[in-house]
Chains A and B, each alone.
Chain A
Amino acid sequence: MKQEEKIFELFDNISSIEPSANWDEMFYSKLKSSKSKPTFKTGNVLLVMSIALILVNVFSVAGNLWQQKNHHADSNLKIVAKQFLISTSSSKY
């Protein structure tokens, strides 16, 4: 018999195997640990919430900085206006 026929016969003649004695035990152990892992869906939600929280913080800080900048600009404007008023009032007299 040719070599390839012999080898192919191996495939044809592979006999079925039976589950081992501890198949059930191993399987139920895997099933139990798979239930305690967070599901993709739960993990996804946590990830989205974390990103949202970070973004909220970033925008909040940015908003504060913007407000401070505007407040500083306002203050400068008030000083300039005051000085202008003082100088114009002084010039009248």
Chain B
Amino acid sequence: MNSEEGFLEQLKQGDKKAFEKLFSEHRKTVLNICYRFFLNTDDAEDLSQDIFVEVFHSVKKFRGESKLSTWIYRIAVSKCLDEIKMRNRKKRITSLGEKLGLEEIAHWLTGTERPDKMLEEKEGYNKLLQGLNKLPDSQRVALTLSKIEGYSNTEVAVIMETSLLAVDSLIYRAKKNIKKFIEDG
């Protein structure tokens, strides 16, 4: 039994120290995957915690067909995409409220500032996020993961369960689409 198999066995048996090691080893990468998707530190923190809660509850079902890290990052990507879809649904429902300025009133009444308002005021980040949101899931995932520190396109291909050639193509198309979106204004 190699070291990863042994570690996995400890996790399946609910070993607290093993979990603590797992969280501390992968926490930063998962956090930054989430950050790249949402460009918002609060959202990234929140979602990264939810991801590890799911990892904790799902580890017994993990059969070890891939590396543990690959499995965790797949869960992270899947949760980020689900969150984006949910927000898009909510946006359609709340767009009327936004048009009426209800959100602004709510923040004024509660004395809270909109998260990352300073970033949002920077047109660049806003445009970037809009461009990213318009990408098909596969392109967005490939582009986002490719920007995570220490992750090569080969590792991205493993997480996405596709070929290196496919990842290169997805990244190329993603960049092209974002640039086109920005050009079109």
Contact = CB atoms under 8 A, between A and B. Distances in A.
B83 to A, nearest CB: 15
Main secondary structure of the interface of B (DSSP, over half): helix
B31 A34 contact: no
A93 interface: no
B175 A8 contact: yes
A4 B179 contact: yes
Nearest to A32: B53
Interface residues of A, number: 21
Contacts of A11: 128, 132, 143, 147, 178
B23 A27 contact: yes
Interface stretch (A17-25, A42-50, A60-68, A80-88): A17-25
B182 interface: yes
B50 A18 contact: no
B56 A31 contact: yes
B182 A10 contact: no
B147 A19 contact: no
Contact of B128 (A7, A16, A34): A7
A34 B45 contact: no
Contacts of A20: 41, 45
Nearest to A12: B147
B44 to A, nearest CB: 7
A92 interface: no
Nearest to A6: B124
Interface in B76-130: 124-125, 127-128
Contact of B45 (A4, A8, A14, A19): A19
B74 interface: no
Given A6-B124, A7-B127, A10-B125, A23 B57 contact: no
A4 B177 CA distance: 11
Contact of B28 (A4, A8, A16, A27): A16
A17 B27 CA distance: 11
B35 interface: yes
B53 A19 contact: no
A26 interface: yes
B23 A10 contact: no
B183 interface: yes
Contacts of A31: 52-53, 56
B149 interface: yes
